[in-house]
Amino acid sequence: MAFGLHSYPAVYRSKFDNGVWTGGFEEKPHKTPEEEAKLSEAELEKLENSRNFYDDMPLVGYTTQYGMSCFEGLKALPQKDGGIALFRPDQNAKRFYKSMKGLYMPPFPEEEFVSACVEIVKRNAALGFKPVYKKEWEQDSFMTADSIYIRPFSYSEGGVGVALSKKPWVVIITTPVSAYFSDGTSGAVITGRIRAAPKGTGWIKAASNYTISALAKHEAAEAGYMECIYLDAVHRKYVEEGSSCNVFFYLKSGELVTPELGDTILPGITRASIIELARDKNVTVSERKISIDEVFSEAKECFVSGTAAGATPIESLTYEGKTVVFNDRKTGGLTADIRDTIKGIQYGTLPDKKGWMVKAV
Ligand SMILES: *Cc1c(COP(=O)(O)O)cnc(C)c1O
Alpha helix (H) ranges present in the chain? 33-37, 41-50, 62-66, 89-102, 110-126, 210-222, 269-280, 292-298, 333-347
CA-CA distance, 164 to 156, in Å (whole number)?
8
Ligand 1: residue whose CA is nearest its atom 2:
244
Within 10 angstroms of residue 236's Cβ, the number of other Cβ atoms is 12
Domain residue limits at 96: 10-177
The answer on 27 and 131 residing in a single domain is: yes
Residues 67 and 196 in one domain: no
Q: Specify if 53 maps to a domain.
A: yes
Residue 1 confidence (pLDDT)? 37
Residue 162 and residue 269 in one domain: no
- CA pair distance 107, 96, nearest whole angstrom: 8
Q: Is 347 within a domain?
A: no
14 and 143 inside one domain: yes
Measured from the CB, is residue 241 less than 6 Å from ligand 1? yes
161 lies in the same domain as 238: no
- Structural domain contains residue 351: no
For ligand 1, atom 1, which residue shows the shortest CA distance? 244
Query: Among residues 177, 206, 223, which one ends one of the domains?
Result: 177
- The confidence score (pLDDT) of residue 181 equals 59
Look at residue 270 and tell me if it is in a domain: yes
Domain check: are 36 and 116 in the same one? Answer: yes
Please report the pLDDT score of residue 309 as a whole number.
Answer: 84
Question: Residue 184: its pLDDT value, please?
Answer: 67
Per-residue pLDDT, 126: 98
Cross-sheet strand order for the sheet of 299-306: 284-287, 255-258, 246-251, 299-306, 310-313
DSSP states of 340-355 as a string?
HHHHHHHHTSS--TT-
Within-domain flag for 182: no
Q: Is residue 2 in some structural domain? A: no
Query: Within this chain, do residues 27 and 102 fall inside the same structural domain, yes or no?
Result: yes
State pTM to two decimals.
0.97
Clarify whether residues 60 and 160 are in a common domain.
yes
Q: Whose CA is nearest to atom 13 of ligand 1?
A: 244
State the distance from the centre of ligand 1 to the C-alpha of 204, rounded, in angstroms.
Answer: 10
**Number of compact structural domains in the chain:** 2
Shared domain for 120 and 201, answered yes or no, is: no
Are residue 205 and residue 101 in the same domain, yes or no?
no
Question: Are residue 135 and residue 239 in the same domain, yes or no?
Answer: no
**CATH number for the domain that contains residue 251:** 3.20.10.10
- The reported pLDDT for the residue numbered 185 is 77
Same domain (yes/no): 197, 172 = no
- The CA distance from 98 to 71, in Å, is 11
The domain spanning residue 30 has which CATH number? 3.30.470.10
- The answer, yes or no, to whether any atom of ligand 1 lies below 6 A from the CB of 292, is no
Q: What is the mean pLDDT of each run of 10 residues along the chain (361 residues)?
A: 81 98 97 96 95 95 98 98 97 98 98 98 98 94 94 98 97 90 80 97 98 96 96 98 96 98 98 98 98 98 94 97 97 96 97 98 96
Q: Is 75 in the pocket of ligand 1 (CB under 6 A)?
A: no
CA of 153 to the centre of ligand 1 (A): 14
Residue 338 belongs to some domain of the structure: no
End residue of a domain, out of 125, 150, 177: 177
Q: Which atom belonging to ligand 1 lies closest to the Cα atom of 73?
A: 9
